[in-house]
Amino acid sequence: MKSLIRFSHILLLFFLSLPVFAEVGNRLDHTMETVWQKGGFVPQVQILELKADSPLHAEPMTSIREALLAQPVTTADSPNFGYSRSAFWVGFSLTNALDKPQNYYLEVAYNRLDNVYFLVTEPESGAVMTEFATGDLKPYANRPLETSNFVLPINFSTGKSYNVYVRIETASSSQFPIRVWTPDRFTEQNQTLAGITGGLIGMISVMAIYNVFLFLSLREKSFLYFALTLVSYAVVEGVLTGFAYQYAWPSLPDWNDTSLTFFGNIALASLMLFSRDFLAVKTTFPSLYKSFNIVAIIGYSLALLSLVMPYRTMIQISAANVILSPALGYGLSLIMIFRRHKLAYYYAIAFTFFVISAAVFTFSKSGFLPRTFLTEYSLHLSAVGVVVLFSFAMADRINFERRTRETAQQSAIDNLQKYRAIYEKSLEGMFRVLPDGSLLACNPAFARLLGVDSEEELLSTVHNTLSLIPASEETGQQLITLLNQHGHIFGFETKCRRLDGSEFWGAIFANKLEDADHQIIIEGSIVDITDKKENELQLSYLATHDPLTNLLNRNEFERRLRRALAASRESGSEHALIFVDLDQFKIVNDTSGHVAGDELLRQIGSLFQTHTREEDALARLGGDEFALMLKNCHIDKATEIGQRLRSEVAEYRFFWGSKVFNVGASIGIVPVTQEASTVEEVLSLADTACYAAKDAGRNRVIVHSQKAHDLTLRQNEMQVATNLLEAIKSDQLKLFYQNVVTTRPDVVGQHYEILVRLQQGDEIIGPGAFLPAAERYNMIRAVDRWVIETYFNWLHHHPDHLLELHRANINLSSQTIGESDFEPFLMATLDKYQIPASKICFEVTETTAIANLVDTAKFIQRLQSSGIQFALDDFGSGFSSYSYLKTLPVNTVKIDGSFIRDILIDPVDHAMVRSITEVAHLMGLSVVAEFVENAEIQEALEEIGVDFMQGYHLHVPEALDQHLR
């Protein structure tokens, strides 16, 4: 508010001063409107306007005189018709009332007129006494007097009267002040105006030179733009006052017109660039930065156009640009005043005068305001104010920048002192060395890190730090290579050595620099990260090893098996996988407890380790299952090792207290070659071979035969598929359900998963025996439809149960999801049996979902719109589960049972379950944990915070027909 009041006061003073300026101008004009003895006067004239279509253009002078006599007499000091295309005749009479002859100068006091024709005649006879043609389109040398305006000397006889006629044409503003002077008075007046104009142009030129020197000294472009503005305006001043034509280019009348619009637009464009930088538009108002550039480009373009375009057109466009261009900077400065930008005060004050003066000057030239001293010289006077104010502003800016630099220097000194204190007291070791390792400087922390008490002692003892940091020469060369390539290193972790030979882990941060003497140096810091590194190594070990036996865990074993499988595909190498399942292990657990069972597993693990090489991989997969991958081992050699393992386990005696146990091992062996498709398949085949050994009587070794396995499997599946088709027709499929237990108090009602079984006689066959065959032979879609139709029908006939039902989960296969007519079938079935869609949740496995991610997502979204919910089953089994979770719009996540099974003994599985639960909850999804096989697993899952659980510990699946609640 204070800024606004201060600026308002300045404007008020300016407007109050306008009448004073006007009065001064009027007095000056009135001094010319005196009697002859005082040297000059403004005659009363008659003016005849000849428009472009006037027939008088071709009439003789007699007709012109008659037309003039018909015009009214005007006493206007300066007739002004603006930018008119007409020609004008001015007529008046002069009488020498003195008693002696007298010379007088007849002046048209405006130098921008193209053609001026003087004609002096006797009143009675009409005889021509004097005639003369001049104008700014004619060479300056033709003028009878060296003046900036158009002057005709006339010799008056005593008591003689004359008629004076002046014809005027111009493409500029049609204004033609007529003055009559005595020679002495004219010379005095001309010298006064020349002095004022010369002083103004000289002052502007000096300021321009001063700003050029500032630019050369400070290299700041705003000074150069201001200098260019001043130089261009000085030329404009010279053109407007006529002095440029008189002294600079008297033989170039065409250029005299063009120069006004050329330099005028150059001045305006340069002023815009100066204003842009002076007001710091790029930082204060970045959105307007381009606007200033565009206006400047327009100004420079108009300057170039003035070289080829007609003067009449360009002078009117340029007159408009005089108002419009500065208005952008002026308006911005007014806004900045409210934001208390100091430099904006100077700019706003200067341009308040300039904008008003430019408007007055432009309106005067356009004929909207009469030509007075104030209108004629307002632009010149305001230019002085602008130059002075901007000069003060630039000086103030330089002074401010000087103070800023001094403040910055003092701040730098303070910061240097603070840095010195930090350097001395820092816990990080800081150093400066040459590329050859020579130590230049270090702080106390660096000295202590290497095992000495002070930096002076270290400097005198160590000559090559590269022998200590890093500890190995190879790592040192790697560090130097990275520095040479990138110029810096960040957090380079390596082992280092102290002077006493002990080692520690350090993280190095360094930059390669060039000092003032152009010498390459390396400076940086090092942090002791020994504790962190040991913790990382411990965590890495726990993430890849079984905590009970210290063998590899399942995840790490699968990773190494995957690598071996990839090597087989690339090089054709052959490996072998031995899968071991202990026999009679349950007897040890049941009779002596889990502590005894754990100790047996540790001892068996140690026994197996005696048969492994460094490149082999031995793992405990979970429970009493072990796996051994033999790198670059033929199946025959693997069979021999498998037999040896079986024999040693059979002969092994496990002592626990007073009890002695014998255990056996059922072993399955499978080759790992380039024909194997996936890790999962290899493990499945090994597991199948192991179970074949158990089925054959235990304590045996079975080697997988791919050909026999595939043939048997295919024959079995074909038989199962044939039986399944008949089972659907004869209604031999049966619906079972397994309860889903909730940990959330807000969930009320029954919640279960619908399962399908095959009944053959009194035997109930599980889904694993027939669903794979149904998928292979494209019968799974019929199974899915049978399940939906049968279950919805059952719900329809048990309305009380339907009312109590919270949600029922039903599995959908990938083939069903991709079926085009499944959605109409589903919606029709829901409608047929009047089943609320919100009570149904379809489960889609992660493998099914990612097979066609986009289509599956669209399928889920369409059905969700009707209220049906979706669960992502077997979550975590894929490699990019979290990314799929963000893409698929499911409501529930069912964690893969492989993570739940060993959650109590495998910390990685425990961490995975916790991570999946937290991420799902963060996304607003509920979480279901499967394979809850005992109370301990249930308790662990409740502690993690899963929403629902299901498994044999909580509920053994039952036939749906028995569910009558």
H or E element in which residue 523 lies = strand 520-528
Average pLDDT, integer, range 39-60: 77
- Residue 355: pLDDT band by 50, 70, 90 thresholds? low
End-to-end CA distance of the chain: 79
136 phi/psi in degrees, rounded to 5: -80, 0
Res 712: pLDDT: 47
Average pLDDT, integer, range 330-350: 73
Q: What is the pTM for the complete model shown?
A: 0.40
Tokens of 925: 């999804």
Least confident of 199-208, 705-714, 845-854, 895-904: 705-714
Rounded Cα gap, residues 318 and 301, in angstroms:
11
Rounded Cα gap, residues 24 and 21, in angstroms:
5
Most confident region among 66-75, 483-492, 618-627, 676-685 by mean pLDDT: 618-627
Q: Coil, strand or helix: which one is 581? A: strand
667, 700 contact by CB (below 8 A): yes
Q: Give the percent of the chain with pLDDT over 70.
A: 83
- Residue 875: pLDDT band by 50, 70, 90 thresholds? confident
Rounded Cα gap, residues 82 and 59, in angstroms:
26
pLDDT in tens, 462-485: 777 777 788 787 888 888 888 888
- Residue 710: pLDDT band by 50, 70, 90 thresholds? very low
Is residue 754 predicted with pLDDT exceeding 90? yes
* Percent of residues in the chain assigned helix, strand, coil, to nearest 5: 55, 20, 25
**Residue of 46, 173, 177 whose CA lies nearest to 108:** 177
617, 609 contact by CB (below 8 A): no
Rounded Cα gap, residues 282 and 404, in angstroms:
20
354, 382 contact by CB (below 8 A): yes
pLDDT in tens, 401-432: 667 767 767 666 655 555 555 555 666 788 88
For tokens 């003689």, name the residue: 160
CA dihedral 116, 118, 123, 124 (to 10 degrees): -110
Is residue 205 predicted with pLDDT exceeding 50? yes
Is residue 623 predicted with pLDDT exceeding 80? yes
Is residue 225 predicted with pLDDT exceeding 50? yes
925, 956 contact by CB (below 8 A): no
Average pLDDT of the chain?
Answer: 80
All residues at 6 or more sequence positions from 35 whose CB lies less than 8 Å from its CB, including other chains: 41
Strand partners, 107: 151, 179
663, 588 contact by CB (below 8 A): yes
Rounded Cα gap, residues 137 and 657, in angstroms:
129
Q: How many other CB atoms sit within 10 Å of the CB of residue 267? A: 24
* Strand intervals (E) in 559-633: 575-583, 617-622, 625-630
- Residue 527: pLDDT band by 50, 70, 90 thresholds? confident
CB environment 314-330: b (16+ within 10 A), e (fewer): bbbebbebbeebbebbb
pLDDT in tens, 80-104: 887 788 889 999 888 887 778 888 8
DSSP secondary structure string, 233-288?
HHHHHHHHHTHIIIII-TT-HHHHHHHHHHHHHHHHHHHHHHHHHHTTHHHH-GGG
Is residue 877 predicted with pLDDT exceeding 70? no
Q: What number of helices (H) and strands (E) belong to the chain?
A: 32, 33
Query: Residue 175 carries which DSSP code?
Result: B
Q: Coil, strand or helix: which one is 77? A: coil
Q: How many other CB atoms sit within 10 Å of the CB of residue 379? A: 23
3, 349 contact by CB (below 8 A): no
Rounded Cα gap, residues 909 and 916, in angstroms:
11
- Residue 817: pLDDT band by 50, 70, 90 thresholds? confident
Res 66: pLDDT: 80
Q: Coil, strand or helix: which one is 306? A: coil
Least confident of 21-25, 111-115, 696-700: 21-25
pLDDT in tens, 631-684: 999 888 888 899 999 989 888 888 988 888 888 899 999 998 888 778 888 888
Find the length of the chain.
Answer: 965
Rounded Cα gap, residues 731 and 961, in angstroms:
14
Rounded Cα gap, residues 949 and 903, in angstroms:
14
**Residue of 117, 138, 143, 135 whose CA lies nearest to 61:** 117
Tokens of 163: 């008629």
Rounded Cα gap, residues 457 and 447, in angstroms:
8
Res 389: pLDDT: 67
126 Ramachandran zone, left/alpha/beta (phi>0; psi -120 to 50)? left
Angle (nearest 5°) at CA 423 between 422 and 429? 120
Tokens of 142: 């033709």
Using omega within 30 degrees of 0 as the cis cutoff, is the peptide bond preceding 470 cis? Answer: yes
